[in-house]
Amino acid sequence: MAPMGIRLSPLGVAVFALLTVGVLYHFYSGFLAGKIAIFRKMPGSDRIDLREMLALSVEAAVRGGEEVKRVMEEGELHGKIKGKTKEGADEILTNGDLQSHQKMYHLIKNTFPSIQVYSEEHDTGNVPEIVPWDHVIPKEILDKITTTEEAFSDSITVWIDPLDATQEYSEKLLQYVTTMVCVAVNGKPIIGVIHKPFADFTAWAMVHGGSNVSLRKSYNENNPKVIISRSHTGTGKAFAQKAFGNDTEIREAGGAGYKVLSLLNIADEKQPDHADVYLHVTNIKKWDICAGNAVLEALGGQMTTLQGNTIDYTNSELNEGGILASIGVSHKILLDKMPDLKSVKTQ
């Protein structure tokens, strides 16, 4: 009952109730909107278009390649030994590696700051100003990949090799030199870019998307031509001969990217060597192989360890157990021919 002398109008009560509801609605809607905005800005919660990621990867590899060429043309390599591999081989570092790293790494990180990027090299000194990417996807990519997928940024790991085949670069064996970018999603290689700066050629592919390269019409599964590292010729040759026979034709080459391209249908002037199988018998870093792995996967090929294990590209840098890469043949049949690496003696 209302106090003595005060009469409540039904209309007044209704208006008061409506005003109360309105205030509460605006309060809670603003509160919830704030909560949702905070959630959207949480690291790793943003979604990235993978076709856009491919275009950025191509741009990064090409910009890195421009630096690699520029340093060579100016004769300012300043090569030095930065360490040794587990097998005791020298690891060489040149100014080309460093300049390419800065352009590639910071272009990707500036464009998508929340993704994880692993590079073979690290910044030393001041980083030059990086021209931003314009987010334009080239027509070649749009024509071949008409639809795309998205991935959360925290599921993406990018592996870049600013200069693959540094040893050969320092020896001016420039046909082996590549710059590479790989995009892995939840540890699986999805996008691969292998750029040959001295041949003005770029191979790219996206798993379940498309590619600008293709496999050859035929491969020899029974007596394959095998390509191995020129840095580990003894063990690699002995391993290949034990797997496929003493008469096996073996090609020695530099650079993991180059050796993957030897498995594909690429003109001789762009890719001098051609092979059926790529073998590597020692430990190898993932920035050396991730791009090639993605390209092969996109074309129906495979890259595994010599024991047939898939390679995870989530975080750890080292791949142990060697690699076997193939396309157009039965990977399982090849794996069945692999001998125990410990049983192979270095020649």
Catalytic residues: 97, 166
Amino acid present at 346: T
Amino acid present at 119: S
Q: In the chain, where do the E strands start and end?
A: 47-49, 80-84, 90-93, 116-119, 150-152, 156-164, 178-185, 188-196, 201-206, 210-211, 226-229, 250-253, 277-280, 284-285, 302-304, 318-319, 323-326
**Pick from 117, 163, 335: which is nearest to 257 by CA?**
163
Confirm if 116 and 157 have CB atoms less than 8 A apart: yes
CB atoms within 10 A of CB 303: 27
Q: Which one-letter DSSP state was computed for residue 57?
A: H
